[in-house]
Amino acid sequence: MTIKTNFWETKSLDDMSDEEWELLCDGCGRCCLVKLEDEENEKVYVTNVACKLLDLETCRCSDYLNRIKIVPMCMNLKTDLAEMVDYLPETCAYRLIYKGLPLESWHPLTSSNSDSVIDAGASVSEFAVSEEAIHPDQLELHIIDSFGDDDQ
């Protein structure tokens, strides 16, 4: 299938082919970081701990086809984007397009450079550790960011 130039500027997410949908992912890996939610105030804390299936070198899921079965908390953006969009990082291409915003200049589709995500410091590969190396009781020590509650 031929990919139309700048398809992300002319097509809605619903109209994108599977191939176009996958190309939209910049491979930053930020959606694969473990998050902790404070049930009292609904604040969400982002850690530098990555899902056990994230390949920390490539920042790609190591079992993409079976991911939802293996990791029940994995977000299925194709079916649940409207519900999950505010849990995605502000730079996420799906979130940006959903909200009618342009892609980041470092997105490989706009930069035409497969290394631009890393060069821009947007990839988690520089700082993430696998959840397999972290005891669950230690997660709070790995918080790097938060959103929700008073941020909204």
| Residue 84 sits in the site that holds ligand SF4 (CB under 6 A) | no
Q: Which stretch binds ligand SF4 (CB under 6 A): 10-18, 47-55, 108-116, 139-147?
A: 47-55
Contact between 49 and ligand SF4 per CB under 6 A: no
Report the C-alpha gap between 51 and 91 in whole angstroms.
19
In whole angstroms, how close is the CB of 152 to ligand SF4 at the nearest point? 19
Q: In the set 8, 16, 35, 67, which binds ligand SF4 (CB under 6 A)?
A: 67
Contacts within 8 Å (CB) and 24+ apart, 6-10: 8/93, 8/97, 8/103, 8/109, 9/102
Q: Check binding of 46 to ligand SF4 (CB under 6 A).
A: no
- 54-55 and 33-37 beta bridge pairing: unpaired
Q: Work out which of 16, 46, 49, 53 binds ligand SF4, going by CB under 6 A.
A: 53
- Site membership for ligand SF4, residue 54 (CB under 6 A): yes
Task: Quickly count: other Cβ atoms within 10 Å of residue 55's Cβ.
Answer: 15
Give yes or no for a contact between 120 and 107, defined as CB atoms under 8 angstroms apart: no
Residue 56 near ligand SF4 by CB under 6 A: no
**Residue count at the site for ligand SF4 (CB under 6 A)?**
20
Could you give the C-alpha distances from 35 to 9, 45, 132, 137, in angstroms and in order? 31, 5, 15, 13
Footprint of ligand SF4 on residues 10-29 (CB under 6 A)? 25-29
